[in-house]
Structure 1
Amino acid sequence: MRLLPAAALLALLGAGAAWYLTAPSPLPAEATAGLTGDATQGEAVFWAAGCASCHMAPEATGDAQLVLAGGQRFATAFGTFIAPNISPSPEAGIGGWTLAELANAMTRGVSPGGAHYYPAFPYAAYSKADLQDVADLKAFLDTLPPDATPSQPHELGFPFTIRRSLGGWKLLFLRDDWVVTGDLTPAETRGRYLAEALGHCGECHTPRNALGGLKTAQWLQGAPNPSGQGNIPGINSASLDWSEDEIVEYLTSGFTPDFDSAGGHMAHVVANLARLPDTDRAAIAAYLKKVP
């Protein structure tokens, strides 16, 4: 009978340890202290990170794509995620957020209220972002039109509704180290930053395991579409036999060497990257040719 109290104590200690280990882990307060954002620089970060592609209203076109009202639906094996309003509205969007709160959301996946965000928001990639870029991004976001559309709750079933469990997911999969390492040229290093961090290319082009973590050993080798419809192609050096110039042309115009054109979500990616300097698209191309 003495074993029962001991087992109960061990269970209690185990639960306490799990609760502690899965707690949200925000940035230290000093991480963003003294940073001042530049909206002009932030616009480039905005396009590189693809913010409008997910957070504009469904079917928005033209200037309406800068109204980040949210509402787009993203179906996955875990449920349907609905992009939230990230316009500068202080009530419905993120207009009342501080820089520290935006940095915690983007690089740690932690909400202003101290809860875990779902990794459908690609903070696993943004965790590598330079905090100055986050400051610049916030400065640009603050210039965009506010919108009062309320964010909608995600459509998830149990147990995916337990946000605390995401702390365990982060322990397993949230890293701030680079996938491609070694001796890189300045252009390849810049391309790595754009592709692995801001552009979060791996989120779509890398397969995932049963828990939704990226299989980094198969980096950019292609993956099933999360919607269940078809596959997303590989873009590593073995999968993509285009030259660097052909990759740059695709990221600029959307046209492939075979005169096909980008469609679906990739059309938004191309439209975003086409707004970046030519040197950035060339850097991405150099990086992709470096991916083993």
Structure 2
Amino acid sequence: MRNRVMSIFETLIALAIFALWTFGGSAIQIGAEDQSADSNSAISRIERGRYLVHDVAKCTECHTPRDARGELIESRLLTGAAIPVVGPHFAKPWAAQSASIAGLGNYDETFVRHLLVRGVRPDGSRPNSPMPRFKMTKEDANAVIEYLRSL
């Protein structure tokens, strides 16, 4: 029963993200209004990046593998995983696997910053659903990058 409830919940989250991405405007804005006074320190940026990754963007939901019960495997945090929900039939293309982003994965920070600030890859292409099109501030994108590099 718990797996069924989690599956329904995860599907609803994916659909909500997809709906925001597709129908709710061009991008999801994050963090411009709540800059902290000490955001210049490296520790503060890493803490801010962790907050954005875990609590705002919820990157762990797709980029962290799950165990048989559907729980995140904390020891493999942000190392890439199978997408935990199947996309709706109208959401094509839908990614089957998320990339490893711990340590920035195979990406350089210029690529990641461009994706997070502009919502598209440097070549102008969009990531497959359910990846949202973020429009972060450069400061927040840099905080996310520092956090991911720290893993």
Q: What TM bracket, shorter-length normalisation? A: 0.5 to 0.7
Q: Which runs of 5 or more residues in structure 2 are unaligned?
A: 1-12, 29-33, 35-41, 87-94
Q: Which residue of 1 aligns with 2:111?
A: 246
Q: Which residue of 2 aligns with 1:202?
A: 60
Alignment of 1:224 onto 2:82: yes
Task: State the 1:243 CA deviation.
Answer: 2.4
Task: State the identity as a percent.
Answer: 27
RMSD: 3.3
Match of 2:44 among 166, 186, 207: 186
How many positions carry a matched residue from both structures? 117
1:121-200 equivalent positions in 2, closer than 5 A: 185-200=43-58
TM-score after normalising by structure 1: 0.34
Task: Give the counterpart letter for 1:287 in structure 2.
Answer: Y
Task: Give the counterpart letter for 1:264 in structure 2.
Answer: S
1:213-292 equivalent positions in 2, closer than 5 A: 213-227=71-85, 230-237=96-103, 240-256=105-121, 260-266=125-131, 269-270=132-133, 273-274=134-135, 276-291=136-151
1:57/1:261 CA distance change after superposition, 3 Å = closer
SS of aligned partner of 2:117? helix
1:260/1:240 CA distance change after superposition, 3 Å = farther
Q: Would the aligned equivalents of 1:249 and 1:255 in 2 still touch at CA under 8 Å?
A: yes
Larger Rg: 1
1:232/1:241 CA distance change after superposition, 3 Å = closer
Q: Which runs of 5 or more residues in structure 1 are unaligned?
A: 1-49, 66-132, 134-183
Task: Give the counterpart letter for 1:285 in structure 2.
Answer: I
Give the Cα separation in 2 of the matches to 1:57 and 1:191.
Answer: 22
Task: Give the counterpart letter for 1:233 in structure 2.
Answer: A
Q: Deviations over 1:20-49 (max 9, x none)?
A: xxxxxxxxxxxxxxxxxxxxxxxxxxxxxx
